Structure formats: C-alpha cells, structure tokens
C-alpha cells in the first residue's frame, strides 16, 4: 500500500516551512481529534495565522486530509516492512510487534490518528469520518490480498478464511490503539499481540 506524502501547493513562496507546519498540525489532530482541534490550536502550533493557513492548505478539512496523507505515508513504511516476511503468520507477528512499539513511542502521541481522529463526530464532520473508514478499509484490503496469496501458496490451510483473518488483524490492530490510549505499556501490548497470535490457523 503506497501512499504519497502531502506537500504544500506550488506557485508562490511561503514565509514558513510547510513540512514543519504539517507536522505541527499532525500532532494537534493526533492529540485532539478532528473536531477537538480548533483553528486557534492549529494556527498556534503551526506558527501561522488563519489567512496563511487557508492560502497554503485550504480549510480545516483540506488540512486534515493533507495531514492524514502524511501520517499514512509513514505508516505504510511499517506495513511494507512487515510484508517482507515470507509467511502470513510472520507478516502478522511482525506487524503487531511494530504496532505495539509505535503506539507506545514516547516521542509520539498515544494511539492512532486513523482510529480516534473522528470515530464519533457531528454531521458537518461526517466526510472526515467516512474518509478515515475508507483508509482503515484500505489497510484491511492489503492484508486480505496477502492472505489470499498465502492460501493459494499453501501457507494457510485450505479451510482458512482470508477475509476473516484480515478483519481479525484489523480488529487487533485498532484494539491495541485503544489500549495504548488507555495507558497500556509496550510490554502489555506485545503480550496482547502474542495472545492474539494463538488464534492463528495452523
């Protein structure tokens, strides 16, 4: 799953660093969610005023979409690393271990932007909620294709259900994000991952 990082619009020079501004906005959205992040929060963190934000990134929704692209471009590198494992079980084991480490990285906010960015929101924010659903489904689809291949190659039992396994991995992944938000430690999340792997078909 390849995702492009968002960049600032071209055409005229900016008086600020767009990359740093997007990273600052990312942290605000990550910590407060889409609706919880006010324009005042965003402009303060980005070090710009509202006219500059609108000129460079569009409105709040457009800014969030750019931030989401940036977030997932980095997350996709983790998925690509896990997908290099030769077996489906190895892919999942590697993925969950990296997920536990990333979710508890002391240099980053807890949890996952794609999970808690807009799980519940008002009608005006519904497009963002739908966008996040689509992004989560895209990740699940990547696992589904990998598990279909594993079944075809005999790496999974003939009676295995690739779609069910992909949904299982997604549920564990996002459940770990919720646990991280609740304060679970890295060791606890790794233990959760090991427990989940006991359900893997043999």
Contact 144, 162 (CB under 8 A): yes
Give pLDDT tens digits for 145-171: 999 999 999 999 999 999 999 999 999
Residue 30: how many CA atoms within 13 Å on its side-chain side? 20
Cα–Cα distances in angstroms (integers) from residue 100 to residues 78, 139, 189, in the given order = 12, 17, 5
The Cα diameter of the chain in Å comes to 59
Separation CA 104–CA 117 (nearest Å): 17
DSSP symbol at 109: -
Give pLDDT tens digits for 15-49: 568 889 999 999 999 989 898 999 999 999 999 99
Contact 16, 48 (CB under 8 A): yes
Joined tokens for residue 113: 């932007």
**What is the mean predicted confidence (pLDDT) over 90-110?**
94
Q: How confident is the model at residue 121 (pLDDT cuts 50, 70, 90)?
A: low
What pTM, to 2 d.p., does this model score?
0.84
Joined tokens for residue 102: 């990333």
Give pLDDT tens digits for 165-178: 999 999 999 999 99
């Amino acid at each position: 799953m390849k995702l492009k990082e968002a960049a600032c619009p071209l055409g005229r020079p900016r008086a600020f660093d767009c990359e740093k501004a997007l990273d600052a906005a990312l942290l605000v959205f990550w910590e407060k969610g889409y609706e919880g992040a006010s324009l005042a929060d965003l402009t303060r963190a980005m070090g710009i005023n509202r006219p500059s934000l609108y000129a460079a990134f569009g409105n709040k929704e457009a800014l969030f979409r750019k931030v989401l692209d940036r977030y997932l471009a980095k997350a996709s590198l983790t998925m690509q690393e896990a997908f290099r494992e030769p077996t489906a079980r190895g892919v999942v084991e590697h993925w969950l271990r990296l997920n536990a480490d990333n979710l508890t990285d002391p240099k980053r906010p807890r949890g996952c932007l794609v999970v808690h960015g807009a799980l519940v929101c008002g009608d005006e924010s519904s497009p963002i909620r739908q966008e996040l659903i689509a992004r989560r489904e895209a990740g699940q689809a990547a696992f589904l294709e990998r598990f279909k291949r594993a079944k075809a190659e005999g790496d999974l039992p003939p009676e295995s259900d690739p779609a069910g396994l992909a949904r299982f991995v997604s549920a564990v992944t996002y459940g770990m994000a919720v646990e991280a938000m609740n304060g679970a430690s890295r060791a606890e999340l790794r233990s959760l991952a090991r427990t989940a792997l006991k359900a893997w078909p043999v």
